[in-house]
Structure 1
Amino acid sequence: MTDLENLVPSPEPAEATIITALEVGLDAIPVIGPMATRVIDHALSVRADERRHDFDMAVIAELRRLAESVDNTLTVAKVLSSDDFAATLARTQRLAAETASETKRERLARATVSTLSSSAVSRVERAQFLRYIEEFEDLHVWLLGYFASPRAWLDAHSMSDVYTGPTGGTVLDPFARIFGAPEADWITPVETAIATLDGYGLVSVPRQHMTGSGMVETRTSDRGRRFLDHLHEDAPAGSEPPTEL
């Protein structure tokens, strides 16, 4: 697989398309009318091509990683003959072109290549996990990792004092420190994401006041942990919360 990268065509840089448009004077034209629409549509199309190119390279990197893993017999013939891989790739290429999140594209690449690996995850569950990846943003995945071991995460980030005080609190109390912002800035996206994860049975997060030890109990379900394992995510304690909510 040493030359697979050369098979992926390089996209036309979106920046170059926009600069060319500006150089011919389109910057003086209001962003209305058919000409402006065509320029914007073309620039957006090129940007989508760039994202797909980056995604294809990420898939190749994952294929290389799998090919170099212990006791693996991956061949180009196996890749090309796999209907699961081809169908998943067609879907994830489209999704990758539509997302602005680089980390989400990386998760899509790992999910694509997982169709070629021997795994305890069933075909049905793998399809469900792909739907999760499609729907979830970085916040959802970070919350899954955090709730797998809140104590480990807070200890690793020098925030043990959040749960060791005498008064206790709620499961969400540490987030003011984690995000370094007032509750109004993070409470709605966090609660919305938790509700989604809870609806899929991936977490179970109580809202009542509890002791400090209760605040940091594991809240991610076995299914949620299998999803994280499927994504090959970093150890939860080492993950960082998204900077944009």
Structure 2
Amino acid sequence: MSLVELTWAWLTDPAQWSGYAGIPARLGEHIFYTFLTVAIACAIALPIGAYVGHTGRGRVVVVGLAGALRAVPTLGLLVLFVLLAGIGLMPPIWALVILTVPPVLAGTYSGIAAVDPVVVDAARAQGMREHQVLLFVELPNALPVIFGGIRAGVLQVIATATVVAYTNLGGLGRYIFDGLALSDYPQMLGGSVLVAALAVVADLVLGAILRRLAPRSTSRELPAPELPAPDLLVQEIVKEGTP
């Protein structure tokens, strides 16, 4: 049998869909790691990005920091956190948080900074305070861009959360590392397929939500003006020229 056939047999084996090490359990662990990571990253990045986007202060620092964090290797950061904090749930989660903050931070900052200044000035002219301008004007207008950054962060976490299995945690990455240790290539390929499928489904769901958040165009095509028939137009001209 080919590797593809063996992988399909592994995926369709009923034994893989039950028990604490079954696909549903590993999938639930992977989703939990992703949700926890994105929640912590949003709690850190959203306030900072909103402040920088609204005031413009610290823009250079934020852009440089976000670029530097993107270049950090995931596995190296994971090993560092585990060596410093020990084996457990949070050390690998914090490593993933550091890698998730940049896209959320960049989306929040760029979204608020891109809000039309005319809209912001109009809100201030109506007597709104700065925090009201941020909460009721800038954030609603920047929401699609902010959610786009969160969407990118979610997809990145789904892909990189497989490395948490390196520290004896669960998730879909468990199949990849266990298959590597046992030279079980169908299991490794099956785990990779499950991660890819989860990423595709998450992207489709988040994309549908993003389309709902995107502002709809208010411009409508105006109907073409109806011109009178040529003979009626000539009659009108004759009437106007008659004394």
Q: TM-score range by the shorter chain?
A: under 0.3
Which has the larger helix fraction? 2
Q: TM-score, normalised by structure 1?
A: 0.28
Larger Rg: 2
